[in-house]
Structures are given as C-alpha cells and as structure tokens.
Structure 1
Amino acid sequence: MPNSVVLLTVHADRIDADLQIPLNELQAAFGHAVNDSSAGLVARLGPQLTAYLLRHIHPRSASGRNWAVLAGTLAVHETQNAVNGTYRELTAQLQLVPPTGEAVRHFVFQYDVVLHQVMTHKILVSVRQDWARGQLAEQQPTQVGVIELDIVNNRIAPLTINLEQGSVWRGFRAMVELGMRHISEGTDHLLFLLVLLLPAPLLVKGSRAQRSGWGRFGGMRYSLKRLLLIITAFTIGHSITLLVGAMGWVRLPAQPVEILIALSILVSAVHALRPLFPGREAWVAAGFGLVHGLAFAGTLANLRLDAAPMALSILGFNLGIELMQVGIIALVIPWLILLSQTTVYPVVRITGAFVAGVAALAWVFERVSGQTNGITTLVAQLANRAPWLLATLAIIAVATWFRGRLRPSATMDDE
C-alpha cells in the first residue's frame, strides 16, 4: 500500500513539514469515510483531521522539551506511482517550532499518524529544503529516516533527526550555482540577448529619418561600446524585477510573463533583420529585461525563504546569472565581431534572426496553448549541443576572416 511522506523545510528558527498521507490508509486509522467520498473532505472534516494529526505528531528536543506544532492548510490531491497506480492523498502543512534556546537541527520526531492502527504502514521522512546546507527544493529530497513498527519489540520508535550544521556561505554558494544553472538552461533568455547583439557591431544604412537596413562593420570601439551598453541595460532591467518579484512586491502570473519573453525574442529577431530601434537597443534590452527578471524571480519566490536568506539568495542568484551570462557572451561575441567584418555576416545575421523568430513563434504557441510542438523540442535539442554550435561558429568566423585578409594579397600577386 502507499506510504506516507513527510517533507521537511529547515529554517533558522523552525521547520515546516508537508505531510502526504494516502486516504485509503488514513481511512482505516481515522475511523471516518475519507477515501470513499473525498469530495469536500476538508470542508466536512477539516477540524477533526487537524485535531487527529496534532494528537499523533510530537517532536521534542533531545533534552525532552516538547516543540510546538502549528497546523496549516489541508488539501486533497490525486497522485500516482509505478507500484500503486493512481490514488488520493491528504496533504497537510505544519510548523514545528522548538522551545527558546533549543537547536532546530537536532530533535526527536515522534509520529504515528495512521501507523498507530495500520501496522504495515511506513512514514518516509525527507528533507526537501535546507538553505544553510545548500539543499534547495528544486533538488531531490534527502531521506533522513523511516518511521515504522519495530516488530521485535512491538513498538513504534521515534525518529531521531540530526541534521548537519549549515552555514551562510553554503546557502549563498548554492544560490550562485542555481543562478548559473537557471540561465544555462534558460534558452529563451540567452536567445533574446544574443539575437539583440547580432546587429550591434553594424552601422545603419540611410539617414536618421529613413533607415534602409544594416550596413558595414562600425569598428571595434563602436562595436564594444554598443555590446557593453546592451548587456549592462539587460542586467539592470532583470535585476530590478528580480528584486521586487522575489520580495513579493510585484507578482504576475507565470504564463503571461513567459509569453512576453517569447515575444521579446520575436521583436529582437525582426530588429536583427531590419532596424526597428537603431541606437536604442539598450533601452529595449532594459525594458525586456524587466520582463525576464520576473521569470527569474519566480524561481526564488517558490523557495519560500525567510527575509535574511532571501536577501542573500537574491544577491547570489543574480550573481550566478551574471557569471553565466557574461561567460556565454564572452565565448560568442569575439566570433560575431570577427564575422561582422566579412562578407558572409549578412547570411549569418539573417539566418540567426530567422531561426530565433521561428523559435519565438513556437514558444508563443506552446505557452498560449499549453501544447508542446516539434520546433520547441528541436530548439531544446540544439541547446544541448551548444558547444558544437559555438565551435562551428568559431571555425566559420576564423576561416572567412582569414580568407578576406588573404584575398587582397592574392590579387596584388596576380597583378
């Protein structure tokens, strides 16, 4: 039969516990029909269920002092696993608060929900998040023990939990790594920036009033200045909304934010084909950076950290984003600058803009409809081969640049 699960989130002054209890097992222990008619279960029996849980959960310190147990939200969900198939479970949120002066990382967990009646039942206890040890909710939970009947002694032994001591540095480092991983896996974020950088080394054809297209290479100083402005503006934009979003000051639903990110790529792709806002790329990067920052903030908000860890996490996460972003751009930009001085760059620019535009439209469709499509799957596969794509770009850049340098010499020899 399905087991119960207890997921612990460790804070500096308390532990949040999320319980997952299968209803078919709970029904036998609770004495009420909770699995036969689970519709409206919380509304019908919420207070009784809460009282039942509190009677059977008793954490205490090693010194024997009892912890406070505060009940939170109850809900019913349908879940499944490979062994048991589909079944319904009660989820409950609790707060376990130690007495003043007692350690939060060392305690005895006395828990016999369901198990006091259903002797074959087991409770799997795991740590889902422990910021001070660098363990985040995005990772696989770490199991710390199993509560079950001791058949030999015919008793339910409490579980002694001793968590390794953490540190601020481990939590901060984990957030830097999370930021780096987030941007390396965020193909849409990088694609927006890279496509916006495609025309950055180029001058604009025509007068200020009548722009006719992208022209020749504008020089090293011109190119580096524009590239730096765009990257800095994007960083400022997403840093602002990362802060306000992670702190909960601004919240937007995830779907419209993700759609706007896809549209930002489409706008950048059109601009790479023909100037839409020449000279104002930095402002556009900053504006769309605000949107991208809201997506970054959602990752931090889901961690539900306290104020002090959240402040450090915002700093570390943003630092990780910037380190990975600057690293990837530093690998790509030299080849774009080299290519922009050759005759093949229009082909590279137009091809890149076209591919990005198609990917953006596919992402818009996917995020509006909720249906995956072959194009987004292909983009994900190409992103996994990014090192090979970068190597190909480098070879093309070096080969065409040397070819352009050698051609005048060959012409002079012929003369």
Structure 2
Amino acid sequence: MIEKVRSFLQFILLAALAIIAAPLAAHSTPNSEVRLSVLDETVIADIIVPRGEYAFGTGNPVDSSDHSLRAAREYLLNHIDVATPSGQRWQVSISSVEFVQIDGPPDLHAVAELVPPGGASPLDLTMEWRVLIDTLPGHFALFLLDDGPGGGERTIIGAVRNGSPPLNITLAREGALEPLTSAIGLGAHHIIEGYDHLLFLLVLLLPAPLVARSGRWAGHRPTGATLIKLAKIVTAFTIGHSLTLIAATVWQWSLPTAPVEIAIAVSVLISAMHAVRPLLPGKEPLVALIFGLVHGLAFATLVQEAHAGMVSGALTLLGFNLGIELVQLAIVAAVVPSLLVLSRHSFYNGLRQALAYLSAAAAMAWIVNRTTGQAEGVVASMETAMSHMAWLIPVAALLALGLIAQSLIRDGYGARSVRT
C-alpha cells in the first residue's frame, strides 16, 4: 500500500511539473491592490484588480468594450464606500478604468478620486471595500500608501477580506514604527486567511502523536515526546519560510508566483497523504523545513508588492514575519491539547484519515485551479466552507474535555468499587 501511495504522489508531481511547463491561465496571487496618495484635498486611489477574479466574481464582461468598461465603473462605485471617522460620506468618482496587462496576467485598472466633505481632513478616512471579497472568500485587497516622490516608496496600510470591518486609514505618518505595526497586522491577517498554509501545518500535526509501524500509524507517542516533535515541526517550518522570506525580500528576487502557488498545493497533498500513511516517518521536521522554504516565497511576493524603502522595508519584513509566527503559535497552542487527548482514543484513526482525505481533495482542487485556471467555482465553494471551520477548534476542545471527564468518572467509579 505504501508503494502505491508513493507512486501516486510521484505521478501527481510529474503531472504538476508538466502543466507548469505549459502556459498558466490562473492568476496565482488573487489579491487586489489599492495605492493611496494625497493630491491637494483629494485622495487618489490607484486600483488594480485581477481580471480573472473580477470576471468570475461578478460575471461581467472583460472585453474592453464600452459596455464592459461601464459595467466595471458601476461595479466599483457600488462596492467602495468612504467616510470620515465620524461617519460623513466622501464623494467617490472613477476618473479612468481599463483592462490592461500591467505585470503578469491582465488586470482591471482604475483610478478613483476620493473627496472629503467640506472641512474634513483628507488624511483620515474609513474605507468600506467590498470589491470581490463579498463573493470570493479567498480574495483580499492590500492597501498601500504612496509616500515618496512619484510614489517610489510605499507603506503597507492594511488588508481587507470577506468579513473584515471597515479599514480605518490615516494617511499621515504617525511614527517610525508604523510600518512595523501595520506589517504585523498584515502578516497575521494573511496567515489566518491563508487556507493552504494553515492546512499544510495542520495535516503535519495530525500524525505527530502517533508512531509509525510497518507502514502504518499505530501506537501512541508519549506526551513529552509528542510535544518535542511538534516543536521541531513548527520550528522547522518557521525557519524555512523565514529564510526565503528574508532572502527574497532583501535581494528582490523575481519570483515566478504560479509555480510557487502550485508547489504549496502539492505540499498540502503530500502532507495529507503522509497523515493517512507514513511516507517519511521521522522526517516530518525535514518536510516542514523544505516546504517552509516554498511557503516563504509566497509570503515574500506579498511583501515585495509594497515596494517599500530600505528602512520601512526592513520593518515591514520583520513585522510581517512576526504576525505570521504569532498566529501560527496561537493556532498550534489551541489545537495541540485537544490533539493529545483525542489521539488516545480509537475513533481518532477514522477522524485523522477523514481530515487527511478532505485535505488531499482540497489540495487537488487548488492544483487544478492554479495550473489550468479551471474549477474556480469548486475552489470558491471549498474556501467558503473553510472560512467557517474555526468552530472545529472549540468543538474539539469540548470533545476532549468530555473524554477527560468520562475517564475521571470511570476511574472514580472503579476506585469506589475496589473499596467496596
């Protein structure tokens, strides 16, 4: 059985490599970008929205005809609201809109003029951004401040996703550490909604409390040894993505994002199959390190989009990495106690395999979508379901507490029976 699994994974890897060599239709980093700058008393918003995601999320035409441009202008106006901190509405107008290839796959490019009401400062605003994020749960919009000559330097303001509250924006620098705090929030936000990154980490954790014997997961690892193994996995993943995040950002590597995104999906698939049957028993930290290098390239792509200056770039890099690590450690801390309890019971074997196979199916959907541009509806539905799965953590905790209470009651009843 183990040889069949390995052969299957080899086939998937070869197929993915073959498809990577072909022209890629998918927009592999499906985020919008909004660059803000202040001109006199007006805020200029330079908007870039991936054309493929726009077409799928809205159903509007993207053929650059007058009809498609009017539809795009109307859609943007209906999905962007700006107000003062006190709630007064700003005037929003679209001065230009076009479908154009700026960098990589084609985009919807628009320039919006945001005018505050009389007497209001143009430096403080609240942005309610609903462009695509209300229909595509995996989509997010990155907001940047152009604060250098000609927009040469940019500072990350924040990001919004489906369910995010309106973004409070201050366009005047508040202090030297502003890029750091903004980047911490961005890193945390990015990893929370980065379903492929989280799924990779979680499926690596599933077999950690178990011991591999004769090509199967059998037996239970002592709690202390399990915690040490989990620490090694998390540390290796952190080292891996930190190394490539730092290197790619400092040396400004040109990153082919499509193969990176496909490799991340492949990492989820391999980790999921490893959770079903041990492919590389004892080598989980090495797997986490290797694929952590790949995941770091994806993180670096987002940081590079800020095009920050030397000082703010270093702070952005540090803050983004800190945000990722804080959320990652919080998730591990929330999951591991329940995992240690549940893995000691017979039903865990079925639960582990079910979660692993579901993760493998998700990985296959990502691979198909990121190599061919197809299955966008499947991926959107899948990620919508994932966005509601945080409730599984408290459910697992309650189940673990119930099993502990049952064990204590049983032990207490047994002790009373012996005394009797």
The question of a shared fold, defined as TM-score above 0.5 by the shorter chain, is answered with yes
CA distance in 1 between partners of 2:222 and 2:397 (Å):
20
- Residue 178 of structure 2 is matched in structure 1 by 170
2:215 alignment partner, SS class: strand
The question of 1:270 aligning with 2:273 is answered yes
1:366 alignment partner, SS class: helix
The question of 1:82 aligning with 2:74 is answered yes
CA distance in 2 between partners of 1:83 and 1:374 (Å):
21
> How do 1:303-318 and structure 2 match up within 5 A?
303-318=306-321
1:214 alignment partner, SS class: strand
Residue 308 of structure 1 and its aligned partner are, at CA, apart by 1.1
CA distance in 1 between partners of 2:169 and 2:347 (Å):
56
Query: Can you give the 5+ residue segments of structure 2 that lack an aligned partner in the other structure?
Result: 1-33, 39-43, 48-63, 78-93, 103-111, 116-121, 124-142, 148-153, 161-165
| 2:223 aligned residue (220, 223, 244) | 220
CA distance in 1 between partners of 2:227 and 2:304 (Å):
35
CA distance in 2 between partners of 1:346 and 1:123 (Å):
57
| Aligned residues of 2:342 and 2:348 also touching (Cα < 8 A) | yes
Larger C-alpha radius of gyration, 1 or 2?
1
The question of 1:199 aligning with 2:204 is answered no
CA distance in 2 between partners of 1:267 and 1:355 (Å):
13
| 1:130 aligned residue (120, 135, 145) | 145
TM-score (norm 1): 0.63
Query: Can you give the 5+ residue segments of structure 1 that lack an aligned partner in the other structure?
Result: 1-5, 11-16, 21-37, 39-76, 94-121, 145-162, 206-210
- 1:82 counterpart letter in structure 2: E
- Deviations along 1:68-92, one digit per CA (max 9) or x if unpaired, are xxxxxxxxx978311899986599x
Judging changes above 3 Å, is the alpha-carbon distance between structure 1 residues 401 and 170 closer, same or farther for their aligned structure 2 residues? same
CA distance in 1 between partners of 2:193 and 2:368 (Å):
20
Provide the identity percentage: 37
CA distance in 2 between partners of 1:398 and 1:90 (Å):
55
- 2:388 counterpart letter in structure 1: R
CA distance in 1 between partners of 2:315 and 2:218 (Å):
45
> How do 1:247-266 and structure 2 match up within 5 A?
247-266=250-269
| Aligned residues of 1:366 and 1:372 also touching (Cα < 8 A) | yes
Greater Cα shift, 269-278 or 249-258: 249-258
- 2:157 counterpart letter in structure 1: L
- Residue 385 of structure 2 is matched in structure 1 by 382
CA distance in 2 between partners of 1:344 and 1:371 (Å):
36
CA distance in 2 between partners of 1:283 and 1:304 (Å):
32
CA distance in 2 between partners of 1:83 and 1:391 (Å):
39
- Residue 338 of structure 2 is matched in structure 1 by 335
- Deviations along 1:251-294, one digit per CA (max 9) or x if unpaired, are 32111111111110110011111111111100000000000000
Judging changes above 3 Å, is the alpha-carbon distance between structure 1 residues 323 and 135 closer, same or farther for their aligned structure 2 residues? same
The question of 1:187 aligning with 2:195 is answered yes
- 1:130 counterpart letter in structure 2: L
- Deviations along 1:293-324, one digit per CA (max 9) or x if unpaired, are 00001111011111111111111000000001
CA distance in 1 between partners of 2:255 and 2:330 (Å):
30
* Greater relative contact order structure (CA < 8 Å, 6+ sep): 2
CA distance in 1 between partners of 2:176 and 2:218 (Å):
51
Judging changes above 3 Å, is the alpha-carbon distance between structure 1 residues 389 and 312 closer, same or farther for their aligned structure 2 residues? same
- Residue 62 of structure 1 is matched in structure 2 by none
Residue 130 of structure 1 and its aligned partner are, at CA, apart by 3.0
| Aligned residues of 1:247 and 1:301 also touching (Cα < 8 A) | no
- Deviations along 1:350-395, one digit per CA (max 9) or x if unpaired, are 1111111111111111111213445433432233223321122222
CA distance in 1 between partners of 2:97 and 2:234 (Å):
49
Judging changes above 3 Å, is the alpha-carbon distance between structure 1 residues 134 and 305 closer, same or farther for their aligned structure 2 residues? closer
1:82 alignment partner, SS class: helix
| 1:359 aligned residue (359, 362, 380) | 362
Residue 216 of structure 1 and its aligned partner are, at CA, apart by 1.8
- 1:268 counterpart letter in structure 2: S
CA distance in 1 between partners of 2:169 and 2:406 (Å):
60
| Aligned residues of 2:272 and 2:360 also touching (Cα < 8 A) | yes
Judging changes above 3 Å, is the alpha-carbon distance between structure 1 residues 165 and 352 closer, same or farther for their aligned structure 2 residues? closer
Residue 409 of structure 1 and its aligned partner are, at CA, apart by 6.4
